[in-house]
Structure 1
Amino acid sequence: MITQEKRLGKNPRISILDIQIDVLTRKETVSLVEQYVKTKTPLHLMGVNADKINESSKNGLLKEIVNKCGIINADGASVVLASKWLKQPLPERVAGIDLMQDLVALSEEKKYSIYLLGAKENVVKKTASVLKDKYPNLNIVGLHNGYFGKEQWEDISNILKKVNPDFIFVGITSPTKEYLIEYLQSRNINSVFMGVGGSFDVISGNIPRAPLWMQNFNLEWFFRVLQEPRRLFKRYFLGNNIFIKNIIKEKIKMK
């Protein structure tokens, strides 16, 4: 059974294709997340894009996990554009990698501890090294690669209980990432969990990030497709078409 997380914020929420999304800016999200840290209230900090919404429409368990999260951000330009077209506008895209680095900076400033979980061993170690160079007083209490099976989830849980971090950044593919976080929360690990997708690869320098001008024109997704066309073409081109089709149906239904 999926337990609804406690919501500390009083911000409104909208619904797009049966997925709840918080009306929050990036700055407002950081401020709200800190309330969870200060009160040691468990939080699955969720970011949704068109692909996550598409997958949730086919996967009831994933949808349930997403909608129970205490904070759900729009991590996709298409989601923000859809919200405006549906007359329930979201203020901005809250990009996961930017939000992660905001929370890392906050952790150095306020002496919160972090744990890095995911990616290949060399990538997660390099990520820790890069973050320590940028934030010398950052307290990284541990790291672990993302290459382990479900039979090792209890071991991971025991490690995290021992170090008790304020933030756990999880760089593992969906929906395994969501299932793992749900399991770890059920083991009474009251941290802020944040799925960060491929952020470790970008921070470590393993994969370049789109130039700023592409980010500003909401073309970061296109840059990623150019990097990994075989893996991402179907997700973005076909997936976006499905998302647009469903948004049009939603608009008609509203009328």
Structure 2
Amino acid sequence: MRSSFLGCPIDVLTMAETVELAREAMRSGRRLQHVALNVAKLVNMRSDPVLAADVANSDLVGIDGMGIVLGARAMGVPVGTRVAGVDLLTELLAVCARDGFRPFFLGARPDVLDRAAEQARARFPGLQFAGLQDGYFRQEREAGVVDAIRASGADCLFIGMPTPRKERFLAAYRDELGTPFIMGVGGSFDVLAGAVRRAPEAMQRLGLEWLYRIYQEPQRMWWRYARTNSLFAAILAEAFIRQRLGATTRASGLPPPAHPVGG
């Protein structure tokens, strides 16, 4: 179900529903681009038009972060649970192994990429990759990388390149890749390779994975999360107040507020 949260499109889907849509795209050959939405991405969209366009042009906007789940519920959007990007990647690799679809991994360092593919093959016997390409290539090689992906006949493309490079790559080459299912996976290759540990399940359920990331990489991550979480809280609070004021005004019969939610 397509809905809207703070002016951003979101698709309220379960994991099973998302997996089935991806499987159908791979089966039919119809392109389906998935983007995983978390707090950092939603905040950065407001100052990054390339990122905002990538989300707006995606066919599926999955709810990746617990902050989005809780915020959407507070605004009255009936979100049941999140569909974490790394979990979706794992589910889709299982589908590929079972149904004979061939994935292409694009991104990460060469050593991380190789370990991620090795771990995926070990976990899902029968999995065959259409190709692997690390993310450390110059801009002048991009056309060659696109040619390699298209020639591979991959059924799905998982991109582990950082923002905004991934968004710019897709904006330039999305229509030339010839891959039915496309998904940005952020740092999931690092998790799959064992280079980064996920938070314990209890912290995941409470939406505290960001705190675990700070614990693992305090110097690199603390300011990123402090900034984006604070901005998200402010944006959400403003939208919530406007929504409540709008409801009160409608109940009283007064004119509506000048600035609607998400405006």
Contact between 1:164 and 1:191, CA under 8 Å: does it hold in 2? no
1:239 aligned residue? 228
Q: Distance in 1 between matches of 2:178 and 2:127?
A: 21
Q: Which has the larger radius of gyration?
A: 2
- How far is 1:217 from its partner? 2.2
Long gaps (5+) in structure 1 = 1-11
Contact between 2:50 and 2:167, CA under 8 Å: does it hold in 1? no
For 1:34, which of 9, 23, 34 is the aligned residue?
A: 23
For 2:6, which of 17, 34, 52 is the aligned residue?
A: 17
Please give the residue correspondences for 1:141-156 in structure 2 after superposition, counting only pairs within 5 Å: 141-156=130-145
- How far is 1:193 from its partner? 1.2
1:88 aligned residue? 77
Determine if the alignment matches structure 1 residue 207 to structure 2 residue 196. Answer: yes
CA offset digits 1:94-131 (Å, max 9, x no partner): 11000000000001111001011111100000111111
**4+ long deviations beyond 2 Å:** 181-184, 252-255
Determine if the alignment matches structure 1 residue 223 to structure 2 residue 226. Answer: no
- How far is 1:213 from its partner? 2.0
Contact between 2:5 and 2:77, CA under 8 Å: does it hold in 1? no
SS in 1 for 2:129: strand
TM-score with structure 1 setting the length: 0.92
2:59 aligned residue? 70
SS in 2 for 1:203: helix
Q: Distance in 2 between matches of 1:192 and 1:82?
A: 28
- How far is 1:233 from its partner? 1.2
Contact between 2:50 and 2:164, CA under 8 Å: does it hold in 1? no
1:134 aligned residue? 123
SS in 1 for 2:159: strand
- How far is 1:183 from its partner? 2.4
Superposed CA RMSD in Å reads 1.2
1:192 aligned residue? 181
Percent of residue pairs identical: 32
AA aligned to 2:214 is V
AA aligned to 2:91 is D
SS in 1 for 2:46: helix
